[in-house]
Amino acid sequence: MSRPKNRDVELNAPLEDEPSLDTQGFERPRELMDHVDEDLSPLLEISNRPVVSAHQFDRDQIVQLARLAARYETQPQVINRPLTGKILISAFYEPSTRTRLSFESAWHRLGGDVMSITDPLSTGLAKGESLFDIGEMLNHYGDVVVLRDSNEKSIYELVEALRIPILNAGNGMDEHPTQALADVYAILKWRPSLADPDSTEAPARIGIIGVPARMRTVRSLLILLSRFAPGIASVTIVTDEEVPFDPGQREELEASGLKFQIENDLDAVLPTLDVVYINAIAWKGDYYESMGSRFRLHAGSPLAEGAIVLHPLARGEELDRSLDATPHNWYFAQARGAVFIRMALLSAMLKTYV
């Protein structure tokens, strides 16, 4: 009998208390919390409302959500399980690891219970029931709904029927607003001064390897970045697409103050960037489409000193594991922070953050 390939792994080695791969991203929430004064009043407008689009958030709300997330991340003792007795309906009709588990982890950490639906064929949809009628039933069974669906319209149909809040966890190629909150939370931990509208620190140079018109993570991230336009020198879109934006998309973002460059030579622009966000898939119906597969990051990529790399994950060949042990790796801290920013958002929606 052959032995497993990993037979040399030290099985008796003690487990480490803290992650060892990333030396910076896991340590920064306290700096953000100390940098931003707490003012929860902007979050009142989020209370008991659906979260469907990144367009719903203004700068103050994002900053205060990030600060609350940092408090949860650094001071777990302040969490008094305010959602005890509350039920989250977790409806994921599309494959998910991080988004689903981080939402469910966030809800459990706040004391609530979870009911999961992972296959639309296990619901009344398989018998021809309308989403409107399903939504009417959900009103009686839970307190919040989280929906991921490859059908872009589903979330809007459910909003019409629901009297409880719903969160968009990704709807086709349209949006992924809570992923964008996790992305911006990571960026604010990296540079807390971005939270200051009058900061004198040099504006950040951000690169996005992806297609804004077809990647929901990129679309929502750009919307949230537009709220911080004064602190961003430029956004460089690295893509092979001749038309990377939807009609009117770039114009709307530029009207908010963002400045764009479009490039197709990744190595040429990497040394100029402070933040590098890479994605390589777009959801299209019930399958995903690989895009920009020739753009790859690895330990030998000419990243600027101090630059951070973000990725919504799951990754493929575009993000090599050789970067994991470098200071550029902020994508694992980004995934960890998603739990806490979703805790903050759920707390704000149910007004249980006091």
| Cα(129)–Cα(157) distance, integer angstroms | 13
Beta strand pairing call for 166-171 and 144-149: parallel
Superfamily of chain region 177-335: Aspartate/ornithine carbamoyltransferase (3.40.50.1370)
**Token couple for 141:** 């069974």
User: Are 207 and 225 spatial neighbours (Cβ–Cβ below 8 Å)?
Assistant: no
Taking the alpha carbons at both ends of the chain, their separation in whole angstroms is 59
Of 127-136, 251-260, 292-301, which gets the smallest average pLDDT? 127-136
Report in angstroms the alpha-carbon separations of 112 from 5, 78, 107, 163, 348.
41, 16, 5, 19, 15
- Segment 14-18 shows an average pLDDT of 58
Report in angstroms the alpha-carbon separations of 213 from 18, 53, 247.
38, 15, 9
Cis previous bond, 314, omega within 30: yes
pLDDT in the model for residue 281:
62
User: Looking at the predicted structure, is the pLDDT value of residue 167 above 60?
Assistant: yes
Any idea what the Cα angle at residue 123 is, between residues 117 and 129, rounded to 5°? 140
pLDDT in the model for residue 350:
94
The enclosing H or E element of 106 equals: helix 98-109
Mean per-residue pLDDT of the chain: 89
Do the domains 177-335 and 39-174+337-350 match in fold? yes
pLDDT in the model for residue 227:
97
- For residue range 169-204, list pLDDT tens digits in order: 999 889 999 999 999 999 999 999 999 988 889 999
The DSSP 8-state label assigned to residue 248 in this structure reads T
pLDDT in the model for residue 22:
45
Domain ranges of the chain: 39-174+337-350, 177-335
Of 12-21, 127-136, 345-354, which gets the smallest average pLDDT? 12-21
- The correct answer on CATH 3.40.50.1370 for the domain covering 39-174+337-350 is yes
Which of 163, 24, 37, 148 has its CA nearest to residue 97?
148
pLDDT in the model for residue 23:
46
For 89, the 3-state DSSP assignment is strand
